[in-house]
Amino acid sequence: QVQLVESGGGLVQPGGSLRLSCAASGAIFHITAMGWYRQAPGKQREWVAGITSGGSANYVDYVKDRFTISRDNAKNTVYLQMNSLKPEDTAVYYCYMSSEGGSYWGQGTQVTVSS
């Protein structure tokens, strides 16, 4: 059984920063990619950023200059450093993992950007 556990969400003021973490555990077979989606209230879940096992990172355009994704392959962990946060970044952030054994999701962590 594979489990993804996210942490690092919370309440932050506009312009602030947060760092999300997502650790995968269990029967993991060759991770090909990890990343993040988010879902704001009343909206569909949207892809935010992803990183391959080789370290190639991609972002949705509107976070490209503010968010940085990274991963620690030895720990099966992916991170999302979020800077210059805006109220419109408020959402539940979900970690995902794609592997040869299947695709998996975390339970989500709430990020709220508000003064």
- Whose structure tokens read 């919370």? 10
If you count them, how many residues does the chain have? Answer: 115
3-class DSSP string for 43-86: CCCEEEEEEECCCCEEECHHHCCCEEEEEEHHHCEEEEEECCCC
Q: What angle do CA 89, 23, 56 make, to 5 degrees?
A: 70
Cα–Cα dist 36/114, whole Å: 21
Structure tokens at 74: 């030895």
Structure tokens at 36: 């993040």
User: Tens digit of pLDDT per residue, the chain (115 long)?
Assistant: 899 999 999 999 999 999 999 999 998 888 899 999 999 999 999 999 999 989 999 999 999 999 999 999 899 999 999 999 999 999 999 999 999 889 999 999 999 999 9
Which CA distances in Å does 9 have to 5, 19, 95, 99?
A: 12, 7, 12, 25
